[in-house]
A and B are shown apart, each in its own frame.
Chain A
Amino acid sequence: MWQTFLGLYNYWIVILLMMAGFYIVMSRHNLVKKLIGLNIFQSAVFLFYISVGKVGGGTAPIVEEGITSYSNPLPHVLILTAIVVGVATVSLGLALVVRLKEAYGTIEEDEINEMDAAG
């Protein structure tokens, strides 16, 4: 029972974080808040990949003599690039939010929708 809990705990936290991010994206109207929610969702995916790549008893994948077991380097590579791409896309999103603020005077999604509906 305890072993199962430890073996699945990481995945459960990943699911929790992912759902927290998803909830923020869906329920909050503030666009900056939505971007933070997307960030949380994204990092949950990162955590999932890295958790999958962990090999029990392994070490960081930097080859040294005398060490036989390494964690999986492949997820590390994927996530390493994804993090930097993530910040680049977030900055693009923030730029869009700034432009929306300048055009509509608000960053609340519902108010922007109301303005659009009002013509």
Chain B
Amino acid sequence: MIEHVVLRVIARLLAPFIVLFALYVQFHGDFGPGGGFQAGVIFASAFILFALIYGIEHARQIVPPAVAQAGIGLGVLIYAGTGVAGMLLGGRYLDYSVLADDAGHGQHYGILIVEFGVGVTVAAVMITVFFTFAGRRGVLEAREDTAVPPDGDEER
């Protein structure tokens, strides 16, 4: 896959836009379709695309596995922590109304933060799972092999 110039250039070109789109989906989820679940998956797919074209090794340099693994827990902590923050501010668990001066803004903040936590966990899990599967058989083999099926699919 590393020798396909078109794929390499396009992948490098597309990846930032996929990440940008993921962020849009993440933070625009309260006005249009979207939210943490979709954004996390789209965010992860940018790195999976990159790993498919450039090899798992390069992708690991961009997102170190330790970072991705930390993200798995971090997202859940953000979500659960929002609930605790609500409790500390005098509300009930996961009651966002107390997070700001008025209930409307509080709900809005709460939803944004919670969705962010969801997005972090989903993205981290997807990236981690892909890295674990792709890195299972040694880096070099995995790089060549993961490259084969999408290639074959495109030519058919």
Instruction: Write the residues of chain A forming the contact surface with B, with a CB cutoff of 8 angstroms.
Output: 60, 62, 80-81, 83-84, 87-88, 91, 94-95, 98
Contacts and interface: CB of A to CB of B under 8 A. Distances in A.
Interface stretch (B6-14, B19-27, B129-137): B129-137
A87 to B, nearest CB: 8
Given A84-B37, A91-B129, 14 more contacts: A60-B33, A62-B32, A81-B37, A83-B37, A84-B40, A87-B41, A87-B126, A91-B133, A94-B133, A95-B129, A95-B132, A95-B133, A98-B133, A98-B136
A48 B35 CA distance: 23
A84 B132 contact: no
A94 to B, nearest CB: 7
B111 interface: no
A94 B31 CA distance: 36
Contacts of B136: 98
> Chain B interface secondary structure, helix, strand, loop or mixed?
helix
Most buried by B among A60, A62, A84, A91: A84
21 contacts: A60-B33, A62-B31, A62-B33, A80-B35, A80-B37, A83-B37, A84-B37, A84-B40, A84-B41, A84-B122, A87-B41, A87-B126, A88-B125, A88-B129, A91-B129, A91-B133, A94-B133, A95-B132, A95-B133, A98-B133, A98-B136
A78 B32 CA distance: 18
Contacts of A83: 37
A77 to B, nearest CB: 10
Contacts of A95: 129, 132-133
Contacts of B35: 80
Interface in B4-54: 31-33, 35, 37, 40-41
A88 B126 CA distance: 8
Most chain A beta carbons < 10 A, residue from B40, B129, B132, B136: B129
What 6 A-B pairs have minimum CB-CB distances, sorted nearest first? A91-B129, A84-B37, A84-B122, A80-B37, A88-B125, A81-B37
